[in-house]
Amino acid sequence: MTQMAIAKALNESLRKALESDPKVLVMGEDVGKLGGVFRITDGLQKDFGEGRVIDTPLAESGIVGTAIGLALRGYRPVVEIQFDGFVFPAYDQIVTQLAKMHARALGKVKLPVVIRIPYAGGIGAVEHHSESPEALFAHVPGLKVITPSNASDAYWMLQQAIECDDPVIFLEPKRRYWDKGEVDTSALPGSPHQAVVAQQGTDLTLAAYGPMVKVCLEAAAAAANEGRSLEVVDLRSLSPIDFDTLQASVEKTGRLVVVHEAPVFYGSGAEIAARITERCFYHLEAPVLRVGGFHAPYPPARLEEEYLPGLDRVLDAVDRALAF
């Protein structure tokens, strides 16, 4: 067991992948000499050379397009999009090429490309630096979308994404980069697409992923002081979603609140709520509720605490669900 921050866990994971497979490449804006704006790739170019850790021009569409070409030639590119809001110039390449090439080639072509995206808010950044675009990618067939919430998952899930023969959108909760946790680098990890019960409970299920898992654990601790037992499920994967684990939890508790930082309107919580309502209709004691961002552009830094779902908004939803 090693204590490390999520940022360090990601760095060690990339280092392990580069050591294990000479076909793994890391590429993106400022990932080399600078080590990335969050220092996730710090020291990698020095140790593995400019041919494997590549500083690219400021051209996201070109970066992803180049990664697709490299994957077609047998490489395993790991692309860093510097900030979530910068991914949209590359959206065409991701949706029309990366996601569809395998089906277009009738399974004869594989594109093992990982696109790392620091996402969500909470760091006091300017416009285009605090977006939550996960639903846009989860909606696209052909892409896998995963997001860790802790250092152990960051370390293992990134390696699993790199080893996968399908394109993976790997979403990193940037405001959690400095959160520390135990990492067992010798463990045998389970599937990155399996949800995990982060805390057991009996009265209500909180389902979350990425940056909101910590908020839900804090909500569960606060509720416990009032005699309420909340179960917290870390979804970990948004495409596919492990509905079986979530269903088992809801069948036990009878209530579900889905929490994500992205806007509630057309967010991933809508799909989860619909599916669980279908699967657990006769077990539900209350409607499935959703907590998330507002249907508005992400605000300036001084207002983001009003925008972001926090402890009070989660506990308010818990109160409403338990009132039924």
Alpha helices in 225-290 (DSSP H): 243-253, 268-279
Residues with catalytic roles: 129
Against a cut of 0.85, is the pTM above it?
yes
Backbone angles phi, psi at 261, to 5 degrees: -80, -25
Which CATH number among 1.20.1250.20, 3.40.50.2000, 3.40.50.920, 3.10.520.10 corresponds to the domain 196-323? 3.40.50.920
- Return the biggest CA–CA distance within the chain: 60
Amino acid at 49: G
Give pLDDT tens digits along the chain (324 positions).
899 999 999 999 999 999 999 999 999 999 999 999 999 999 999 999 999 999 999 999 999 999 999 999 999 999 999 999 999 999 999 999 999 999 999 999 999 999 999 999 999 999 999 999 999 999 999 999 999 999 999 999 999 999 999 999 999 999 999 999 999 999 888 999 999 999 999 999 999 999 999 999 999 999 999 999 999 999 999 999 999 999 999 999 999 999 999 999 999 999 999 999 999 999 999 999 999 999 999 999 999 999 999 999 999 999 999 999
pLDDT per residue as tens digits for the range 300-322: 999 999 999 999 999 999 999 99
Q: Identical fold at 2-183 and 196-323? A: yes
What is the rounded CA–CA span in Å between residue 299 and residue 152?
31
Strand positions, DSSP E, 84-210 = 114-119, 144-146, 168-173, 180-183, 196-199, 204-208
Give residue limits of the domains in the chain: 2-183, 196-323
Between 311-322 and 212-224, two packed helices, what is the crossing angle to 10 degrees?
Answer: 60
CATH number of 2-183: 3.40.50.970
Between 6-20 and 151-163, two packed helices, what is the crossing angle to 10 degrees?
Answer: 30
Return the closest-CA partner of residue 209 out of 120, 137, 78, 99.
120
